Copies of this chain bind each other. A is one copy, B any other.
Amino acid sequence: MILSALATSVGLNLALTVLLVAAYSLLRRRPPYVEVYAPRRPFAPLEPWLAAAWRRSEEDIHAAAGLDGVVFVRIFVFSIRVFAAAAVLGLGVLLPVNFFGDQLREIDFGDLPNKSIDLFSISNVQDGSNKLWLHFSAVYIITGITCYLLYHEYKYISGKRLDYFMTSKPLPQHFTVLVRAIPVSDGVSVGDAVDKFFREYHSSTYLSHTVVHQTGKLRRLLNDADNIWTKLTNLNARRSSGEPSRKFLGLFGRNDLLGMYQKRLEDLEENVRMEQSDATRRQEIPAAFVSFRSRYGAANAIYIRQSDNPTEWQTEHAPDPHDVYWPFFSTSFMERWIAKFVVFVASVLLILVFLLVVAFVQGLTYLEQLEQWLPFLRNILELAVVSQLVTGYLPSVILHFLSSYVPSIMKLFSTMQGFVSVSGIERSACNKMLRFTIWTVFFANVLTGSALRQFEIFFDPKEIPSKLAVLVPAQASFFIAYVVTSWTSITSELTQTAALFCNLLGKCATCCKRDGSKSPSMPYHSEIPRILLFGLLGLAYFIVAPLILPFVLVYYCLGYFIFRNQLFNVYVPKYDTGGKFWPIVHSTTIFSLVVLHIIAIGVFGLKKLPLAASLLLPLPVLTLLFNEFCRNRFWPIFDAYSTESLIKKDREEQSKPEIAELFSTLVTAYSDPALKPIRHASNSDERTVPLLASI
C-alpha cells in the first residue's frame, strides 16, 4: 500500500466517523429515536453527549453500569495509556529511524504520496545497523510500561471489587450455595435429603433450600404465551392510538385477530396452570439452592468438599437470582459431557470455515490475484479510486461484517456447555470469541495459506520467531487499514445502526416490533475480544510498523467516549460479576506482549543483530513470571472472598434489619420463574415486565 492509499482510507473513515457522530447528535433528541438512543431513560438527555461523557466520574459509571461497566471503561483507560506511551516512542523515535534508513531504496517511488508505507517500517533500516538498538530498547521500555500499568490496573480493580463487596447491600447470592448431584434414595424427596444433610453438617448456619424442578415443557408453553401476549398488547396499543384497521391479505380484521389471540392465550394459560400444579410435585432435579445464615457459612459449604464421594453433593457459588440460566438445569451430567465435546468440535469447525473465508478476503489486498480470479472485473479494477478502495477498504469491511455474526454463535456454544448463569455463559463466550478473533483475524492473516498449513508453524517451535518476523511485516498494510476501518465500526455503535433499522421497520410491520420496555444489555462477550484485538495488533506491530500506533490510539479514544455514553443511555446491566472480566483482559495483554517479543526476536535475527535477539530472550520469561506473580497476587480475589472480608461483613450487618428482611425473602428468591403464577389474560392491557425477562 502506498501512502496516498492510506490517506484515502483514513479520509474516508474519518468522514464516515464524523458523519455518524453528526447523525447521532442530530437524531438522539428526536422523540421517535429516543427509544433507540436512550432506552434507559424515558427522555432525551439535554446536555451535549461528548461533554457529558467526559464529565462523568467513575462513581457515576459504577452506579449506572455496575463494576463490569467500570472494568469495561478501564480497558479503554489502560489501552489509551499504553498506546499513548507507545505512540510517543513509535512516532518520536522508531518512525524517523525507519524512514531515514535506506534498505528499501528500490521501492521509494519519489514524491511523498507515492511512497510505500513499508518505508516507515523496520524493513527499511539497514541490516546490522546500530540504530536497531533503539528498537531493542523500545521493546524493553514498552514491556516495562505495560507491565507496570497492568499491575496498577489489577490492583486498582481488585481493590474496587473488595470495596464493592464491603459496601454492597445483603444479596441472596452471598448467602446461597448451589448444590448439585444430590444422592437420593428411594422414597425420599430431594428436599428431605437436602434438609437432612445440611441440618446434620451445617446445623448452626443452615437456613433454607429451594429444590430445582424440571420445567422444560412449561417454559415452552410460557414462551408461546409470552409471544402472543406481546402481539396482543401491540394490537391494543395501535387500537387505542386510533390507527385505522387494516385487513391482513383481506382475510382477518384487527378484531378477528384480537379475538383469536385472546382465545389462544387463554388456552395456553390454562395449560400452564395445569403444568404448574403438577410440576411442583413431580419432576424434581437433584439440585437445590441452599441458603445459610451467614456469608461465611455459605463459603464453608463451597470450599470444603461435602461428601466422602466427590461426585455427590457438589457445591458452587449460586448466581444472582436474576442471573440464573434456568433451562440449563434440565440437562443431565452425561448430556453436559457430550455437549462439551460437541461444542469443542463445533468451535474448531467454525474456525476452519472462517479461515476459508479469510483466505479469500486476504486475496483482495493483492489486486493481481483478484484480477486473476475474476477477470471480468479487470477494467473496473484498473481505475485508481477503485483499486485504492478495494485494497485499502473492502477486505476490512468484509471481515468486520462476517465477524459480527460470530458472537451469537459462540454464546450458543457456551449455552450448550451448561453454565448455571447468564454471566457464566457470557464469560465463557468471551474467552471463545477471544481465541476465535485472535486466530481468525491475526494469525490467519499473518500465516497465509490453507488452514492446515497454518498449524505447521507450531510443529517447529524453533522457527516460529524467524517465520513470524518474515510474515508479520508483510501484512502491515492490511492491519493498518483494518485499524482505520474500525473507527467507523466503533462509531456505528453510537448510532446503533441495527437497532435503528429495527425501529424503523417495526413502525411498518405489524406485530413484529421489539418489546420497547426491554433495554438491551451490554454484549461484553463480543465487545471485549474486539477491543483487545486492537491491543494485540498495536503491540505486535509496535517495532515492525510503528505507523499503526496513532490509529490504534484514535480507536481507543473514540471507544472511550462512545462507550461512556452508551453505558449511560443505552445498555442496562443484566448481571454484575464484580469485575470478573478483568483477568481476561490481563492475560490477553500478557499474550500480546509475548507475541511482540517473539516477533522482535525474529526481526533482530533477520536484521543480522543476533546479540539483540539473544538479549531479548529473558524478556518473555520475565513477562510470564510477572504474569505468574499477578496470578498469585490478584487472581484469588476474583475467584472468592476471604475469611477476613466475609466475617467482617457478616459482623457489620449482624443486627441490621435488612438481614432479617433478606432472610425472609431467601426462601422464595430462587424459585423458578416458570413456576410463578401468570397473569396475562386477565390484565393484558397493563404494562407488566414480561415474566421471562430474567431468563
Q: What is A's interface to B at a CB cutoff of 8 Å?
A: 162, 200-202, 296, 299-301, 303-311, 459-461, 632-637, 640-647
A303 to B305, CA, bound (A): 9
- State which of B162, B305, B460, B646 has its C-beta within 8 Å of the C-beta of A640: B305
Identity of the chain B residue whose Cβ is nearest the Cβ of A629 in the assembled complex: B311
A303 to B636, CA, bound (A): 12
Contacts of A309 in B (CB 8 A): 633
Can you list 12 residue pairs at the A/B interface with Cβ under 8 Å? A201-B643, A201-B644, A201-B647, A202-B643, A296-B304, A301-B643, A303-B303, A304-B304, A305-B636, A307-B643, A310-B635, A311-B633
Query: Is B201's CB under 8 angstroms from A310's CB?
Result: no
A305 to B638, CA, bound (A): 12
Please give me the 6 A-B residue pairs with the lowest Cβ-Cβ distance, nearest first: A310-B636, A303-B303, A305-B642, A306-B643, A303-B304, A304-B643
Q: A305-B636, A305-B640 are in contact. List 12 more A-B contacts (CB 8 A).
A: A201-B643, A201-B647, A296-B304, A300-B304, A305-B642, A305-B643, A306-B643, A308-B637, A309-B633, A310-B635, A310-B637, A311-B633
A307 to B300, CA, bound (A): 15
- State which of B307, B634, B636 has its C-beta within 8 Å of the C-beta of A644: B307
- State which of B301, B307, B645 has its C-beta within 8 Å of the C-beta of A308: B645
A155 to B253, CA, bound (A): 71
Contacts of A296 in B (CB 8 A): 304
A308-B162 contact, Cβ under 8 Å, with A201-B647, A300-B300, A644-B201: yes
Identity of the chain B residue whose Cβ is nearest the Cβ of A645 in the assembled complex: B308
Query: Is B306's CB under 8 angstroms from A642's CB?
Result: yes
- State which of B308, B459, B643 has its C-beta within 8 Å of the C-beta of A642: B308
Give min CB distance, A306 to chain B, whole Å: 5
Give min CB distance, A362 to chain B, whole Å: 27
- State which of B200, B633, B646 has its C-beta within 8 Å of the C-beta of A310: B633
Contacts of A644 in B (CB 8 A): 201, 306-308
Contacts of A640 in B (CB 8 A): 304-305
Query: Is A310's CB under 8 angstroms from B643's CB?
Result: no
A301 to B303, CA, bound (A): 11
Contacts of A301 in B (CB 8 A): 643
Query: Is A642's CB under 8 angstroms from B307's CB?
Result: yes
- State which of B459, B635, B642 has its C-beta within 8 Å of the C-beta of A460: B459
Query: Is B304's CB under 8 angstroms from A632's CB?
Result: no
Contacts of A633 in B (CB 8 A): 309-311
Give min CB distance, A339 to chain B, whole Å: 15
Identity of the chain B residue whose Cβ is nearest the Cβ of A633 in the assembled complex: B311
Contacts of A641 in B (CB 8 A): 305
A202 to B643, CA, bound (A): 9
Contacts of A634 in B (CB 8 A): 310
Give min CB distance, A431 to chain B, whole Å: 21
A201 to B300, CA, bound (A): 14
Contacts of A300 in B (CB 8 A): 300, 304, 643
Give min CB distance, A308 to chain B, whole Å: 5
Contacts of A643 in B (CB 8 A): 201-202, 300-301, 304-307
Give min CB distance, A531 to chain B, whole Å: 28
Identity of the chain B residue whose Cβ is nearest the Cβ of A642 in the assembled complex: B305
Give min CB distance, A212 to chain B, whole Å: 22
A299-B304 contact, Cβ under 8 Å, with A201-B644, A461-B459: yes
Identity of the chain B residue whose Cβ is nearest the Cβ of A636 in the assembled complex: B310
A634 to B459, CA, bound (A): 35
A306 to B645, CA, bound (A): 9
Most chain B CB within 10 A, of A201, A301, A641, A644, is at: A644
Contacts of A642 in B (CB 8 A): 304-308, 310
Identity of the chain B residue whose Cβ is nearest the Cβ of A314 in the assembled complex: B632
- State which of B202, B307, B459 has its C-beta within 8 Å of the C-beta of A459: B459
Give min CB distance, A164 to chain B, whole Å: 13
A200 to B296, CA, bound (A): 14
Query: Is B632's CB under 8 angstroms from A311's CB?
Result: yes
A311 to B628, CA, bound (A): 12
Contacts of A637 in B (CB 8 A): 308, 310
Contacts of A202 in B (CB 8 A): 643
Query: Is A310's CB under 8 angstroms from B632's CB?
Result: yes
Identity of the chain B residue whose Cβ is nearest the Cβ of A204 in the assembled complex: B204
Most chain B CB within 10 A, of A303, A306, A632, is at: A303
Most chain B CB within 10 A, of A299, A305, A461, is at: A305
Contacts of A632 in B (CB 8 A): 310-311
Give min CB distance, A663 to chain B, whole Å: 22
Give min CB distance, A578 to chain B, whole Å: 14
Give min CB distance, A494 to chain B, whole Å: 39
Contacts of A310 in B (CB 8 A): 632-637, 642
Contacts of A311 in B (CB 8 A): 632-633
A557 to B194, CA, bound (A): 49
Identity of the chain B residue whose Cβ is nearest the Cβ of A310 in the assembled complex: B636
Contacts of A636 in B (CB 8 A): 305, 310
A301 to B305, CA, bound (A): 14
Identity of the chain B residue whose Cβ is nearest the Cβ of A301 in the assembled complex: B643
A202 to B642, CA, bound (A): 13
Most chain B CB within 10 A, of A309, A634, A637, A646, is at: A309
